[in-house]
Amino acid sequence: MIDRAGRPLESEPAPAACRIVDLRAGNLSVRLAESVGEVDAAQALRYRVFYDEMGARPDDRMARLRRDFDDFDDVCDHLLVIDHAKTGREAVVATYRLIRREHAQRLGRFYSSGEFDISNVLSWPGEVLELGRSCVDRGYRTRAAMQLLWRGIAAYVFHHDIELMFGCASLPGQDPDALALPLSYLHYHHLAPPALRPRALDALHVSMRRLPPHEIEPAKALAELPPLIKGYLRLGGFVGEGAVIDRQFNTTDVSIVVKTDLVTDKYYKHYERQARDVWAA
């Protein structure tokens, strides 16, 4: 039996040669989920991080099952970092959700469209990829796990010839005034060009221009940004116009757009070379 995304219900590892993503460093490896059981493990990890740690608000079914899930989980690809020193659900220690156009077409929308007008992104003629639900287990928030996630994304981007990545990225909390410095910094220093710029939906729009430009200290603002957003900026990423308060996840969301040339050039080549060194050792 298979699920709606074509994944087998039982976990039967695919041959390495058939995998789009298959990279390893020590006990950790990164690849796409290959069964419902592995998707379930990713959802359990997301629940622990988003709901137990970060204060997101589950509905009754999520709380009962202790899983974070929605309709997109059935149609997307789930990128996993796996610790081979562990077994079962606990072996999945990091995850990212990857949604391409063909995935979104099955539901008629991308996840981001619930918060942002992404029509400029969708008009891009090449392949696009929505990134979301990124999280890492508390015991694995080191450079190794994050590098593996990005190596996996780079391999996925390279395989599918993706030219543009986008998604929602979160700052903690629901008070934009408490986030005035990082929000203002992002708006003034990293706003996407008009042709690629998403915009918060009118009914949800929260201005990011909360401080005048002369009051912004870039170094201090960068220090207050979550690591994931800083990672996108290092890749030349941009933000859209306006933020959105996400009541369920207890966050303030911004829209991120990243052209993939730096991902493929900087990360794919660098980490593939690093991977060859690991295998040769």
Domains identified in the chain, total number: 1
Phi-psi map region of 87: left, alpha, beta (phi>0 left; psi -120 to 50 alpha): beta
Check: CB of residue 80 under 8 Å from CB of residue 33. Answer: yes
Does 264 map to a domain?
A: yes
pLDDT of residue 142: 85
Share of the chain above pLDDT 70, in %: 87
Does 9 map to a domain?
A: no
Q: What is the mean pLDDT of residues 8-13?
A: 50
3-state secondary structure (DSSP) of residue 116? strand
CATH number of domain containing 95: 3.40.630.30
Domain that holds residue 210: 16-280
pLDDT tens per residue, range 104-122: 999 999 999 999 999 999 9
pTM for the predicted model, two decimal places: 0.88
pLDDT tens per residue, range 216-266: 999 999 999 999 999 999 989 999 999 999 999 999 999 999 999 877 665
Does 4 map to a domain?
A: no
What does the alpha-carbon distance between residue 126 and residue 118 come to, in Å, rounded to a whole number? 15
Does 6 map to a domain?
A: no
pLDDT tens per residue, range 40-74: 999 999 999 999 999 999 999 999 999 999 999 99
Does 10 map to a domain?
A: no
Asked if the model's pLDDT at residue 16 lies above 70, the reply is: no
Does 258 map to a domain?
A: yes
pLDDT of residue 144: 87
pLDDT tens per residue, range 127-148: 999 999 999 999 999 888 988 9
Tokens of 241: 């116009």
Does 217 map to a domain?
A: yes
Tokens of 7: 């994944």
Does 163 map to a domain?
A: yes
- 173 Cβ neighbours under 8 A, 6+ residues apart: 179, 250, 251, 252
22 secondary structure, DSSP code: E
